[in-house]
Amino acid sequence: MVQSGRLLVLGDLNTMGLQFPKKRAADERVSEAEEVEALGKFGSPVAVGMITKSHDETFNNGRLVSNLDHVLSSSNVRFKSLGTRPDGVTFQVRVVGWNQLTGTARKNYIDNLSDHSALYVEVV
């Protein structure tokens, strides 16, 4: 299949657990991790996929830390490798913000700037 267009989706996708409709009133919920995994498989493996981040968690409101922000891309978009995570996985998305801060600096960032960290990529 030849792809002529390119797709890049970057941002807060609110992956907090998904409710799948069922025939019964007691709908089943999936966990945040299951939703993120399913999102990465949403498109065809040759069409759309999840791009690896330096940190999984991108949201922190002081009470909840969560993996809400993602980068999805068509396979014909190329990204510069930006480093290697502590688990040895190479990443193409640098998560920048409260993740690099601790203590009062982290609290001030979350309270005064954003409870989300930024997602930085370089398309090549």
Q: Per the structure block, which two tokens stand in for 59?
A: 């949201």
The residues, ordered by sequence, that sit 6+ positions from 83 with a Cβ below 8 Å of its Cβ are: 54, 90, 91, 94
pLDDT digits (tens, 9 = 90+) for 31-57: 777 777 776 666 655 567 889 999 999
Please check whether residue 99 is in contact with residue 117, taking contact to mean a CB–CB distance below 8 angstroms.
yes
Q: Which residue would you say has higher pLDDT here, 44 or 115?
A: 115
pLDDT digits (tens, 9 = 90+) for 66-85: 998 999 888 889 999 999 99
Domain boundaries of the chain, sorted by first residue: 8-120
Cα 42 to chain centroid, rounded: 14
Confidence of residue 99 (pLDDT cuts 50, 70, 90): very high
**pTM for this structure?**
0.76
Q: Per the structure block, which two tokens stand in for 16?
A: 């907090």
CA 73, CA 79: separation in Å to the nearest integer? 10
